[in-house]
Copies of this chain bind each other. A is one copy, B any other.
Amino acid sequence: MSRCQPVSEIPPMKDLTTDNITDNVKILNNQCPQARSRYIFDRLVSHLHDFVRETRLTTTEWQTGIDFLTAAGQISNDLRAEMILLSDTLGVSLLVDAINHPRHGNATEGTVLGPFHTHDAPVADNGYTLHHDEEAAKLFVLATVRDASGRPIPGVVADVWEGDAHGFYDVQNPHRDQPDGRAVLRSDDDGLFYFTAVVPVPYPIPMDGPVGSMLTHLHRHPNRPGHIHFMLRKPGWDPLITALYPRGDPYETSDPVFGVKESLIVDLGTVDDTIAQKYNVKAGTRLLTYDFILVQEEEAARLRQELATKAVEEMGLGVAIENGLPVLDVD
Query: Which positions in A face B, CB cutoff 8 Å?
Result: 1-8, 10, 12-18, 21-22, 24-25, 28-29, 31-33, 37, 39-41, 43-45, 47-59, 61-62, 66, 69-74, 76, 81-84, 87, 90-100, 166-167, 201-204, 217-223, 250-256, 258, 260-262, 304, 307-308, 311-312, 315, 317, 325-326
Q: Is the CB of B202 within 8 A of A167?
A: no
> In the complex where A47-B51, A48-B47, A256-B28 touch, is A221 in contact with B69 (Cβ < 8 A)?
no
> In the complex where A70-B73, A96-B59 touch, is A43 in contact with B51 (Cβ < 8 A)?
yes
Q: Is the CB of B99 within 8 A of A37?
A: no
Give the distance in Å from the alpha carbon of A90 to the alpha carbon of B96 in the complex. Answer: 23
Give the distance in Å from the alpha carbon of A22 to the alpha carbon of B57 in the complex. Answer: 21
Which listed residue, B37, B45, B57, B311, touches A217 by the CB 8 Å rule?
A: B37
Q: Is the CB of A222 within 8 A of B71?
A: no
Which listed residue, B25, B83, B202, B325, touches A90 by the CB 8 Å rule?
A: B25
Distance in Å: Cβ of A249 to nearest Cβ of chain B? 10
> In the complex where A37-B217, A61-B40, A70-B73 touch, is A49 in contact with B92 (Cβ < 8 A)?
yes
Q: Is the CB of B54 within 8 A of A312?
A: yes
Give the distance in Å from the alpha carbon of A39 to the alpha carbon of B54 in the complex. Answer: 10
| Inter-chain contacts of A31 with B (CB < 8 A) | 218-220
Q: List 6 A-B contacts (CB under 8 A).
A: A3-B167, A4-B202, A4-B223, A25-B91, A54-B311, A69-B69
